[in-house]
Structure 1
């Protein structure tokens, strides 16, 4: 497993350059940026499965728990993702090999429940780093919505992709 990098390797302006992303935040958080404010480390997950490539940034809190995720969508800026992946450790993930709904239910019961939302991040100059990020709703292409639905089902299961910043 790759050792996560300090959060400064993933500054707000680099996140803003990503364009539209799928954000997964803890379902107990009322705002999608709550996890960003708790994050102290980041690493990337990269995998390839039957549905194609998958790239995400996993942000960890001081206790080592994943508290915020950003997933690349077809609508995201590919080159900005590549530049960011050059700055953070990348962890290659195994494809999900659990067969059927029973294993899926077991797996999801052990994971935090994520609230998915599509958003565009914006850097806010002049604020402390943990507050220097803002988010806005974003419209996705049909392909982007399908990818967001697939990611949300695969990782969140019990809370489906609801679209924008409003709670799903």
Structure 2
């Protein structure tokens, strides 16, 4: 026999219509299992309704709310961390896939050789500029070197003076926003 609708009607809190009530009463007369379930469930409901509710100990709600809030914050932190790691991993995977698809074939060794070649060319160029500058300085008359040295020193002194004056004005008058 199919007990499912009768068990649902017994355990359900909602009211059933009169036709279903008649069918349930008839079934309870015929089926001892459902009859036992019906009476047991009624006893449980009576016990629950008659049991007095004890008040919570002092400070319980405050402690419970604090613990709940801290657990919720920790869960939000974990979720944010998980989301960040997931997004970063996904973005990294997409970048690697795009690099594999779009970049030409290369090997690490050829990349390293090209880098070192560029560094050697850079130092060679710097050495050329230094040697040309030395040759110009060696071939220039002494008076030209003295005048150009004084000119550069003058500009450096002027820049340092302007910087010092600016710092002095800022410290005494402050910065005014317009």
Q: If each structure's strand is expressed as a fraction of its own residues, which one has the higher value?
A: 1
- Same fold, TM exceeding 0.5? no
The alignment's TM-score, normalised by the length of structure 2, stands at 0.12
Q: If each structure's helix is expressed as a fraction of its own residues, which one has the higher value?
A: 2
Q: Relative CO higher for 1 or 2, CA cutoff 8 Å, sep ≥ 6? A: 1
The alignment's TM-score, normalised by the length of structure 1, stands at 0.13
Which structure has the greater CA radius of gyration? 2
